[in-house]
Structure 1
């Protein structure tokens, strides 16, 4: 895994785990406000040195396969809030994740342009950022490590679920017992927010 520290002023830290193939610039439009931002991405290698997180006031936001990845990497950490978006700690899973056969097909018939289309749907024209140049290698490594799971390592406060998600089926998010918030968005949801504060807000029941 790779880490990019976007802002580090010594305050509250949003720790963002991105999904497969996405780079930190994909959230450059989101306002940080009072938060610092650390972004974890690129799962060509599943190792992450977490010593830099010690003593920080952490707010976890994990998206897509990043929900699975952070569950493996962050055992024992406590968060002020933990938000999962369009993903589950199960990762590749026939009931609570991306079906194994579908994931295998995405490797065998690798089509990154097709993947982008289902991630963004009608928002495809809004893309103004690049992607991991080693996307297929990243995909293969996720599959190779898919049997590793730590489904109870994080206490989630909210799961955000896109109604038009064609990567992680919305039904897979039934795994979560926390509060669920459904939004009218595709798998990539960040164009539908202006700030990380919006994402971290827990709606009143």
Structure 2
């Protein structure tokens, strides 16, 4: 995978947010979110492999925020890292699953039918409406098609062969209008596989970041 470390200060901060992006999305899709004081941000994306080369030891607090396919990736690579919190957004640890993720037929069909045109249709689906899609287009700098095709191919193969694992998730955010990971499948997954997680069901689409302005909103206590 690829990573990019971001900080608002010249020197490293004592705490770290590790963000696992969704498949095919650029790091700029979350560029509008403000970093809390005393935090660096490590963005992980382009999952053509599961190699995460990063030294976490200098940080006092580490918080995971994972979106969509990034939830499965975080489960695979963050097993031995002590976490202060872990928030899953519109994703599960079984991303290719008829009951707990994206249906196997749809997942495979997305890969087999992936073109430049179907990619745009997928981006419209993750955004849910014209307003969110316009925001996504303004923020997101499109990645190369060949790269995202290779990424989805690798993800599909790895999901079939890697042993299911899970980190200790503290929060699961489920968008009620998610057209990628059905909300009922997400809810069923968290109730079955991580009953202690705090579930927040909110109005919104798969790409729900436009409704937020700071990273801290993703782990602060919720009333829903």
**What TM-score does the superposition give when structure 1 sets the normalisation length?**
0.93
1:100 has 2:114 as partner: no
CA contact (8 A) 2:21 2:70 kept: yes
Kept in 1: contact 2:96–2:102 (CA 8 A): yes
How far apart, CA to CA, are the structure 2 residues paired with 1:23 and 1:79?
A: 25
| Pairwise CA RMSD | 1.5
Residue deviations 1:1-56 (CA, integer Å, cap 9, x gap): 11100116322111100000112111110011212111000112222224x11242
User: When you count strand as a share of all residues, which structure comes out higher?
Assistant: 1
CA-to-partner distance for each residue in 1:52-109, whole Å, 9 max, x for gaps?
Answer: 1124220110010000011111112221011000001112112111111111110121
2:43 aligned to 33, 39, 45, which one?
39
Instruction: Point out where structure 1 has 5 or more consecutive residues left out of the alignment.
Output: none
Deviations 1:92-142 (A, max 9, x none): 112111111111110121110111010112111112121321111111111
CA distance in 2, matches of 1:9, 1:75: 23
Cα contact 1:89–1:149 (8 A) shared by 2: no
2:142 maps to which residue?
131
Alignment partner of 2:23 out of 13, 20, 37: 20
Q: Tell me what 1:156 maps to.
A: 169
Relative to its length, the structure with more helix (as a share) is 2
Structure 2 residues without counterparts, runs of 5 or longer = none
